[in-house]
Amino acid sequence: MMKQAFRLAVYVVGLTAFASQASAQALPWEGRGFLNVNFGLQLIAEDVATTTTSFTIYDETGKLTTAQTIDSQAPFWEIGGGFRIAGNFGAGFTYTRLSATGAAAVQAQVPSPIYYDQPRTVTATVDDLEHVEDGYHFQALWMLPITDKLDIVFSGGPSLFNLKQGAVTSPQITEVGPPYTTVNMTVSQATTTGSQIGFNIGADMTYRFANNFGIGAIVRYAAATVSLEPEGGDPSDVKVGGFQFGGGLRIRF
């Protein structure tokens, strides 16, 4: 979290210095605000989420470890807007949603029905585990008009991420039989959720083909680390966010 705060501080200082140099020659922000709708691609911050859960069998505790591989990139959509406060400065808000899937390699340590503290190891795979990110990005804005039709909006601020993560749970253990050295396992999935505050920085370029309408492109980096606590399991950290690239419709008013 300290690294994220430092990065955000560096960005804000740099943006302020750039703004002070460019404000003297920049065109004024005309209008009161804007509304953007974008579609794009996010490079996910981390492609593996590891979770550990426990279960009880034969009056002993077994352990289930899941290494989930998430899609390294996934599409997202967003809607956001902003309004001018003074000069070329303003405030804005953007909501983003991303949905990805993945697979999981599962390994379980299953207690023995005969020998105490001598677990057996069994593995399985699970497909189509979900990974859904909802991002709420609060932004300070500075607009740099290039011409009367082309402008760039720089943004930065805190982000709140809500994460829904599929986690492997409820193993069904079937004994193979004597000498009870191997077992069969089937697993199911449950959804765990968590939230965390991070940050976002970005830039948005707009070309207006009419007075109040245009098209544009965005680049943004947003990040946070969400701690998940699956039922009966140990907490695990999952990184959310990443680099976002996209474009879409612009409405100015």
pLDDT digits (tens, 9 = 90+) for 74-98: 999 999 999 999 999 999 999 999 9
Q: Do the domain assignments include residue 225?
A: yes
pLDDT of residue 232: 57
Evaluate if residue 210 carries a pLDDT over 50.
Answer: yes
**18 in the Ramachandran plot: left (φ > 0), alpha (ψ -120 to 50) or beta?**
alpha
Q: Do the domain assignments include residue 12?
A: no
More confident residue, 234 or 42: 42
Q: Do the domain assignments include residue 17?
A: no
Average model confidence (pLDDT) across the chain: 86
Evaluate if residue 229 carries a pLDDT over 60.
Answer: yes
Evaluate if residue 20 carries a pLDDT over 50.
Answer: no
pTM to 2 decimal places: 0.79
Domain residues for 162?
33-252
Q: Do the domain assignments include residue 60?
A: yes
pLDDT of residue 45: 66
Alpha-carbon gap, residue 191 to 40, rounded angstroms: 26
pLDDT of residue 192: 87
pLDDT of residue 1: 45
pLDDT of residue 46: 64
Strand partners, 215: 207, 249
Q: Do the domain assignments include residue 40?
A: yes
Interval 129-157 mean pLDDT = 95
Give backbone dihedrals phi and psi of 13, rounded to 5 degrees, phi first. -60, -45
How many CB atoms lie under 10 A from the CB of residue 43? 14
User: In the chain, pLDDT over 70 holds for what percent of residues?
Assistant: 85
Q: Do the domain assignments include residue 15?
A: no
Tokens of 39: 């579609």
Q: Do the domain assignments include residue 74?
A: yes
Q: Do the domain assignments include residue 4?
A: no
Q: How confident is the model at residue 30 (pLDDT cuts 50, 70, 90)?
A: confident
pLDDT of residue 191: 84
The sign one gets for the Cα dihedral 18, 12, 238, 236 is positive
The number of domains in the chain is 1
Q: How confident is the model at residue 248 (pLDDT cuts 50, 70, 90)?
A: very high
Q: Which of 50, 47, 95 is nearest to 74 (CA)?
A: 47
CATH code of 169's domain = 2.40.160.20
Query: At 63, which helix (H) or strand (E)?
Result: strand 60-70
